[in-house]
């Protein structure tokens, strides 16, 4: 790990456009087939941006028992692969029941830019004021992948009977895929502390980002059924008790606090894995070997430029979208925060 070359770069091969301001903790983004941008705010609203402008009213604003407290609230979003025809949207959010915080994944039904909760897909994921995970993505296999944190209870990450501290894999109707690694279980991988990013490369290899306890932030290749060590080990630590999967890349004694990640499949950054860093206040681009299994170099971009970066997605037109997270209680917000930033490939102008 220590031999990997880290670079701080200033010549960004993209032009920068601020496309939205004055949002409250924009947590996740997705884009439909018509190019409309869907944005979750952790406070409970989803907004649609069409042709560069937000529609006047939110798609939905979640109500009781929804709760936005600490790191919880409205988190990940994923549009159904057949969204244009079925109008399904999946979101993950926190809620409270008899004084206990949980997370759940619900399916929304959109009609004329308004949405209602159609059904609960997965319920009673352990939650809390910290470590809720929250990223949801639909993979190349058309399954829904969900990151969950340890909810402040590290031992849950190693508990095969708990949904906390895991990456989960479910069918879009909420049922358990027959080929999941553990029989009759939604668990795809375990031993995670607070994973907040999911992305696949062009060979359908899955990567996840994860917050370490004291630095030791990780980027992992996710293998079905693998154990990623928390709380037994983190970073490059070893143990003889259980077989643990070591990270593809970790931050050593520096804190990145990696959140959203995306894989770029075109343009100047083709083949790179991008990582949005919160406390690290930067966009990290990771160069991989042809197999995607080893890091060759990684570069830091936009360092201390826009503050904490929460989400990054790569759009079909080659643009890259970022969100800031400066109003989450840990940043220093400017008057226009929080923002959505679009990076436009220079060669396309």
Quick: pLDDT tens for 95-107: 999 999 999 999 9
pLDDT at 240: 82
Give 144-174 pLDDT, tens digit per residue: 999 999 999 999 999 999 999 999 999 999 9
CATH for 5-348 is 2.120.10.30
Q: Which two tokens stand for residue 29?
A: 């983004």
Q: What is the mean pLDDT of residues 121-130?
A: 98
Mean pLDDT over residues 91-119, rounded? 98
Q: Any residues with CB less than 8 A from the CB of 287 and at least 6 apart, and which?
A: 271, 272, 295, 296, 297, 298, 299
pLDDT for 1: 32
Distance from C-alpha of 131 to C-alpha of 270, rounded to nearest angstrom: 32
The pLDDT value given to residue 243: 87
Residue 79 confidence class, pLDDT cut points 50, 70, 90: very high
> What percent of the chain shows pLDDT beyond 90?
93
Asked whether the predicted pLDDT for residue 23 surpasses 70, the reply is yes
Q: Where are the domains of the chain?
A: 5-348
Q: Mind giving me the DSSP string for 285-305?
A: EEEE-TTS-SEEEEEEESTTT
- What whole-number distance in Å separates Cα of residue 263 and Cα of residue 219? 13
Question: Are the CB atoms for 62 and 42 separated by under 8 Å?
Answer: no
Model confidence at 4, pLDDT cuts 50, 70, 90, reads low
Q: How far is CA 174 from the centre of its chain?
A: 20
348: DSSP letter: G
Mean pLDDT over 184-213 rounds to: 98
Cα→Cα distances 24→115, 153, 279, Å: 20, 28, 17
Provide the pLDDT for residue 166. Answer: 98
The three-point CA angle 60-315-311 to 5° equals 60
Determine the Cα–Cα distance for residues 194 and 103; give it in Å rounded to an integer: 14
Give the CA distances from residue 329 to residues 70, 190, 255, 260, 338, in Å, rounded to whole numbers and listed in that order.
9, 29, 17, 18, 12
The pTM assigned to this predicted structure is 0.96
What pLDDT does residue 298 have? 96
Distances, alpha carbon 293 to alpha carbons 2, 157, 273, in Å? 16, 25, 12
pLDDT in tens, 289-340: 999 999 999 999 999 999 999 999 999 999 999 999 999 999 999 999 999 9
CA-based angle 55:60:61, to the nearest 5? 115
State the average pLDDT over residues 213-221. Answer: 96
Mean pLDDT score of the chain? 95
348 confidence band (pLDDT: 50, 70, 90): very low
Read off the pLDDT band of 2 (50, 70, 90).
very low
Instruction: Kindly report, residue by residue over 223-271, the tens digit of the pLDDT.
Output: 999 999 999 999 888 888 888 999 999 999 999 999 999 999 999 999 9
pLDDT of residue 349: 42
């Amino acid at each position: 790990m220590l031999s990997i070359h880290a670079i701080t770069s200033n010549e960004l091969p993209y032009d920068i456009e601020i496309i939205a301001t004055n949002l409250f903790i924009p947590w996740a983004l997705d884009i439909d087939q018509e190019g409309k941008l869907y944005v979750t705010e952790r406070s409970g609203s989803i907004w649609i941006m069409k042709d560069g402008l937000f529609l006047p009213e939110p798609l939905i604003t979640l109500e009781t028992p929804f709760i936005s407290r600490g790191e919880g609230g409205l988190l990940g979003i994923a549009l159904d692969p057949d969204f244009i025809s079925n109008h399904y949207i999946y979101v993950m959010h926190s809620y409270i029941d008899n004084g206990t915080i949980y997370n759940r994944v619900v399916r929304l039904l959109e009609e004329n830019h308004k949405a209602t909760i159609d059904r609960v897909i997965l319920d009673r994921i352990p939650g809390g004021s910290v470590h809720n995970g929250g990223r949801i993505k639909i993979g190349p296999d058309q399954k829904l992948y969900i990151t969950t944190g340890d909810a402040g209870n590290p031992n849950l990450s190693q508990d095969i009977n708990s949904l906390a501290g895991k990456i989960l894999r479910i069918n879009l109707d909420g049922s358990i895929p027959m080929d999941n690694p553990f029989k009759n279980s939604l668990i795809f991988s375990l031993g995670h502390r607070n994973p907040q990013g999911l992305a696949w490369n062009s060979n359908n290899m899955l990567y996840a980002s994860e917050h370490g306890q004291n630095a030791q932030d990780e980027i992992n290749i996710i293998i079905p059924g693998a154990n990623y060590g928390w709380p037994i080990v983190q970073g490059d630590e070893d143990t003889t008790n259980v077989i643990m999967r070591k990270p593809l890349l970790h931050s050593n004694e520096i804190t990145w606090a990696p959140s959203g990640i995306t894989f770029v499949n075109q343009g100047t950054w083709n083949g790179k894995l991008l990582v949005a860093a919160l406390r690290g206040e930067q966009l990290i681009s990771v160069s991989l070997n042809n197999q995607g299994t080893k890091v060759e170099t990684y570069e830091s971009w936009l360092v201390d430029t826009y503050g904490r970066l929460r989400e990054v997605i790569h759009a079909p037109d080659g643009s890259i979208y970022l969100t800031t997270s400066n109003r989450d209680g840990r940043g220093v917000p400017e008057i226009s925060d929080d923002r959505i930033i679009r990076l436009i490939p220079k060669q396309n102008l």
